[in-house]
Homo-oligomer: A and B are copies of this chain.
Amino acid sequence: MKAAVLHDYDLDLLRPEWVRYEDYPDPRAEKPHDVIVRIGGAGVCRTDLHIIEGIWRDKVDIELPYIMGHENAGWVEEIGSAVEGVSIGDAVIVHPLVTSGHCLACRRDNDMHAEENSFPGINANGGYAEFLLTSETSLIKLPESLAPKDVAPYTDAGLTAYRAAKKASKHLVPGQYAVIIGAGGLGHIGVQVLAALSAAEIIVVDLSPRALEMIATMGAHHTVVAGDDWVEEVLALTNGHGAEAVIDFVGEGDAIVKGLAATREDGYYYIVGYGGKIEVPAIDMIISEKTIVGNLVGSYPELVELMALADRGLVRLDTHEYRLSEANKALHDLNAGAFTGRAVLIP
């Protein structure tokens, strides 16, 4: 098959090719629950840039060359001997984790914490290719309303935003406020999900007035440009108290300090973006009784829930299509901030 293969860690802007578009051996469905998916679309994620940079080199056990791409959707091409849940030809979206489904975490709607799992695109070959090896247990059949290339980025960016917003929706009651920091790839999903699942008044903070304009059409009730005083603006919008939930999709620069400051006493600060560091004196946590919540990608059932929202048009995703052979262009464009929304590679 054709694939965009990573041979070296180095995010040098002058390198002509970060990945090489070349022939690669086809994966096979050898184990009983293996499934080969013919890729319809593979999302391009900022994490892929971090991989090329080499940040993940010591964190995961993978040898170069390998194939990135952890946001995948397509059609079932080949199935293992024990597969019963999907048939060849089914349109499917691929939950990013491959697990056995037997451990307690898998059974408790918590498969991101499965005792044994792999993460194709991160620590196994991913979806920058014509075919992907995954497992029956990771597949969700798509309704006719949703084409693989249009939904691939839901599997990671979308699912992570969904999970954080869902957690917040559990405690937000009418009359309360939510702040979303970052109106980008994750943030624009987070806003739509929160608007669908709660009646909280939503304030979105971002550096870009253009992004804020767009998000005002997606469920944000107030937008605040992320200048020096944005916390004060949030306090003014929330009767001086701050928001009962703050979801931080940025997680670096002063987002964390300000995000915590914009969180009301007894409120929840959800950290999703990363790069920065949380630093807070214990006494401040105690006097304010705030809670800081780490957020990973969501579970398989949560991806089913997100697909239900997408199917009904309650969330929509802005995607930009590239040919798989244009993977380098997509990666460079992402690095350069050349588009909003999410790039998708199509074989």
A residues sitting closer than 8 Å to B (CB atoms) are 31-33, 81-82, 84-85, 100-102, 104-113, 136-137, 166, 170, 173-175, 196-199, 201, 251-252, 256, 265-266, 271-296, 299-301, 304-309, 312, 314
Given known contacts A291-B291, A301-B108, A308-B175, A274 and B281 CB-to-CB distance under 8 angstroms:
yes
Given known contacts A32-B32, A199-B196, A291-B291, A277 and B277 CB-to-CB distance under 8 angstroms:
no
List B contacts of A108 (CB < 8 A): 108-109, 301
List B contacts of A290 (CB < 8 A): 294
Contacting pair B277 A199 (CB below 8 A): no
Nearest CB on B from A297, distance (A): 9
Cα of A182 to Cα of B282 in the assembled complex, Å:
16
Given known contacts A102-B85, A266-B113, A294 and B286 CB-to-CB distance under 8 angstroms:
yes
List B contacts of A251 (CB < 8 A): 282, 286
Nearest CB on B from A183, distance (A): 19
List B contacts of A291 (CB < 8 A): 291-294
Contacting pair B286 A199 (CB below 8 A): no
User: 29 A-B pairs, CB-CB below 8 angstroms?
Assistant: A32-B81, A32-B82, A33-B82, A82-B82, A85-B100, A101-B107, A105-B266, A174-B306, A175-B307, A199-B314, A251-B282, A256-B282, A271-B285, A271-B286, A274-B281, A274-B282, A274-B283, A275-B282, A276-B281, A277-B279, A277-B280, A278-B279, A278-B280, A284-B294, A285-B292, A286-B294, A286-B296, A287-B296, A289-B295
List B contacts of A281 (CB < 8 A): 274, 276-278
In the complex formed, the residue of B with least CB distance to A110 is B266
In the complex formed, the residue of B with least CB distance to A105 is B266
Q: Which of A85, A285, A308 has the most CB of B within 10 A?
A: A285
List B contacts of A304 (CB < 8 A): 104, 175
Given known contacts A107-B111, A174-B306, A256-B282, A292 and B292 CB-to-CB distance under 8 angstroms:
yes
Extra contacts, 10 of them, besides A107-B107, A252-B282 (Cβ < 8 A), are A31-B82, A81-B82, A85-B102, A105-B266, A107-B300, A173-B305, A201-B312, A251-B282, A274-B286, A279-B279
Cα of A100 to Cα of B292 in the assembled complex, Å:
30
List B contacts of A285 (CB < 8 A): 271, 274, 278, 292, 294
Contacting pair B293 A283 (CB below 8 A): no
